[in-house]
């Protein structure tokens, strides 16, 4: 299925690999011009070459860098129709073992990064009275999972921020939604989490897969398909939603 996105422009953060890369690839296949933003400039360049897009190096936690990044995208591509706030980090382990710095880093990247990137793009969208923001939350943002205290806290906050921005920007023709993935493999984050699972003697991903009603874990393109839908006019009556894509792991 295609979503009539040809000719539109997307800015995807954290797009140098994993889910962000898959989203950039999917949006490009839908005919969008894609700005690939990552703090790793080499990774951004690689993915931008794959999608024939524009590479932008910036840290989402820096208002100055994000403001410059948005200016670059507007100068190169003329507009931003879709912002995908994908950049994120995770730390897994018992709450009593979690360094305070790990919690602070997750809140800074996962929450402040979404706020900073959105605030950098929103004046342009408001001026055009059109736009779609897609935030990457998590099923852990709807149910507090053991060993994910800081990550769950940050993703709960992303959902709250999504709802607040959705209400505030709807009168300006802007939609804001979130995606809540379950267990996504083939990403650097999942590789790191699996190492921590082994360290703490917890069930590995292959074992947890047995609890998923659909019977498999997800891959980045599963998430990318939902991002493309939310970016499109097919979702024109949806805002403030936090959509589960967990294979039935979480149903609400």
Q: What share of the chain is helix, strand, coil (3-state, %, to 5)?
A: 50, 15, 35
At residue 1, the pLDDT reads 61
Rounded (10°) angle between helices 220-231 and 18-29:
50
pLDDT attached to residue 198:
83
Q: Nearest Cα to 5, choosing from 229, 246, 237?
A: 229
pLDDT of residue 4: 84
Q: What per-residue confidence (pLDDT) applies to 181? A: 97
Among the listed residues 147, 151, 200, 237, the single catalytic one is 151
CA distances, 134 to each of 13, 137, 165, 205 (Å):
11, 9, 11, 27
For the chain of 252 residues, list the mean pLDDT of each consecutive stretch of 10: 86 98 97 98 98 98 98 98 97 95 98 98 98 97 95 98 98 98 88 82 82 93 97 97 95 91
- Edge-to-edge strands, sheet with 242-245: 54-57, 33-38, 9-13, 82-85, 131-136, 174-181, 242-245
Domain architecture of the chain: domains with CATH: 9-237 (3.40.50.720)
Q: Phi, psi (5° rounding) for residue 52?
A: 55, 45
Residue 151 is among the residues annotated as catalytic for this protein: yes
The closest alpha carbon to 158, from 139, 186, 132, 131, belongs to 139
pLDDT of residue 169: 98
């Amino acid at each position: 299925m295609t979503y009539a996105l040809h000719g539109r422009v997307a800015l995807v953060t954290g797009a140098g690999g994993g889910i962000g890369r898959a989203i950039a690839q999917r949006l490009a296949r839908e005919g969008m011009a894609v700005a690939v933003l990552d703090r790793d400039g080499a990774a951004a360049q690689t993915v931008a070459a794959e999608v024939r897009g524009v590479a932008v190096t910036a840290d989402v936690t820096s208002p100055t860098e994000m403001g410059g990044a948005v200016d670059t995208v507007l100068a190169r591509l003329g507009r931003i129709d879709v912002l995908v706030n994908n950049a994120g980090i995770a730390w897994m382990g018992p709450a009593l073992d979690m360094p305070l710095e790990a919690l602070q880093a997750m809140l800074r990247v996962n929450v402040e990064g979404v706020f900073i990137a959105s605030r950098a793009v929103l004046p342009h969208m408001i001026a055009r009275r059109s736009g779609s923001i897609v935030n990457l939350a998590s099923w852990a943002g709807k149910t507090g999972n053991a060993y994910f205290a800081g990550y769950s806290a940050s993703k709960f906050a992303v959902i709250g921020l999504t709802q607040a921005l959705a209400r505030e920007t709807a009168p300006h023709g802007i939609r804001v939604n979130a995606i809540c993935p379950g267990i996504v493999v083939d990403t650097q984050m999942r590789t790191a989490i699996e190492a921590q699972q082994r360290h703490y003697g917890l069930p590995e991903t292959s074992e947890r897969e047995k609890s998923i009603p659909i019977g498999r874990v997800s891959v980045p393109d599963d998430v990318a398909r939902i991002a493309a839908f939310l970016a499109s006019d097919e979702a024109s009556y949806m805002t403030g939603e936090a959509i589960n894509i967990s294979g039935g792991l979480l149903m609400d």
